[in-house]
Amino acid sequence: MTVMTKFLRGPQRDKLAIREELESHLEERVRDLMVGGQSETVAARTAIAELGEAAEVARRFEDARTQPRRRLAMNLGLIGLAGGAMIMSLVAMTQPGGRNGASVYRPERPDAKDAAVEGRRFDVSFTNESLVDAFSWAGQSAELTPVVSWKAFEAWGVSADTQVAMNAKQVTLEQFFTLLNEGAAIEGARYDYRVRERTLEIATTEYFDKREIELVCYDISGVLPVHRPDLEAMTPVEMKHRDQQLTEELVGVITSFVYPETWRDNGGLYGMSVVGSKMFVEAPRRHHHQIRWVIEQFLDRGDSGAASTAPSTEELPVATPRDPVKGAPAGTAAGGRGR
């Protein structure tokens, strides 16, 4: 807790209040765990592990403390929306095919999963194997050299010696990690991997997320009523309210359904700002696939104007059983409603 307080910024009074609140929480949690049968030592360790890494929690507090500045940026964007009907029309006219297209800035290009590697299958039979041996076996079976970021697992209390039990036949690398995650029974834990030049990189999903952040500018002018023929009769004031409502709804849906816990407002790392008819989203690649889809749903609000429903030319996400939302549009596009 002392370490955490050192990481915190802001007035001393606020830091002490946070410390007091967290200590109170930990005390009660330890008491409850002990009532549940844990020894005091184990209960204390569990409660502290649940709190997470001190620096990370302090950063979340810092985000909460400074968030009015971000909100101001967004509100300025909304004012821009209200006053910028003409400008938005211009944007719409100059970007006829790109209303819901996205220009992407990629600080780093992550490698896609290797199809040849994904197709390779192997048996696993671990009773009390160490995690390092399990990773070595997976790497060897997929003919890859494993490189593990052990530091990424520290917050979970996981190390190379952590015991693993797993029994399955003919699994792919992806299935191996799915089984590992299902068997881990650590709250929030998610082992993940990337294949890069015959190397099997192993870390957490959060680790790869941070590495694969993309700042994407979405053109959301098609979401706004100025482009809706059925709403052209609106007064400027009505239009302003409608603009704000639609933008808030869009942001609300994204932060509610696209990996909700990862957004800054919900204690996560990633954020977005609306400026005029542009929505800037800084988030990992896996988020953007879903965000594109959500924006498309907003564009398709029963309006018959073809212009506002211009489809994205970007590749839609591939359906996976674990991610039905992400997969919905692609699945429908390929084999859904016949013409």
Partner 1 sequence: MEPELAVLAVLSEESLYGYAITKAAAARSRGEIKLGPGVLYPLLAGMEKQGLILSTWEAVKADPDDEAATGRRRKWYRLSAKGRKRLEQRIKAHREYHAMMEAFLEGGSGLGRRAEGAKEVGS
Q: Which parts of this chain interact with partner 1 (CB under 8 A)? A: 17-18, 20-29, 50-53, 56-57, 60-61, 63-65, 67-68, 71, 187-188, 248-249, 252-253, 255-257, 260-261, 265-267, 296-297, 300, 302, 309-313, 315-316, 325, 328-329, 332-334, 336-337, 339
Output the smallest distance, CB 216 to partner 1, in A: 18
Output the smallest distance, CB 312 to partner 1, in A: 7
Output the smallest distance, CB 323 to partner 1, in A: 13
Q: Which lies closer to partner 1 via its Cβ, residue 230 or residue 248?
A: 248
Nearest to 65 by CA among 267, 282, 273: 267
Tokens of 18: 């946070």
Tokens of 339: 């013409």
Output the smallest distance, CB 140 to partner 1, in A: 36
* CB 222, CB 92: distance < 8 Å: yes
Give the strands of the sheet with 145-148, arranged side by side.
145-148, 199-204, 191-196
Nearest to 216 by CA among 305, 117, 314, 76: 314
Place of tokens 């200590």: 23
Residues in the chain: 339
Distance of CA 105 to the CA centre of its chain: 17
Element (H, E) at 159: none
Q: Which lies closer to partner 1 via its Cβ, residue 51 or residue 132?
A: 51
Q: Which lies closer to partner 1 via its Cβ, residue 22 or residue 166?
A: 22
Output the smallest distance, CB 178 to partner 1, in A: 20
Output the smallest distance, CB 63 to partner 1, in A: 7
What single-letter amino acid sits at 12?
Q
Q: Which lies closer to partner 1 via its Cβ, residue 110 or residue 331?
A: 331
Nearest to 7 by CA among 61, 49, 68: 61
Q: Which lies closer to partner 1 via its Cβ, residue 92 or residue 164?
A: 92
Q: How far apart are CA 165 and CA 155, in angstroms?
A: 21
Q: Which lies closer to partner 1 via its Cβ, residue 18 or residue 142?
A: 18
Q: How far apart are CA 237 and CA 228, in angstroms?
A: 16
Tokens of 276: 């005029």
Q: How far apart are CA 52 and CA 267, in angstroms?
A: 12
Q: Which lies closer to partner 1 via its Cβ, residue 64 or residue 165?
A: 64
Output the smallest distance, CB 185 to partner 1, in A: 13
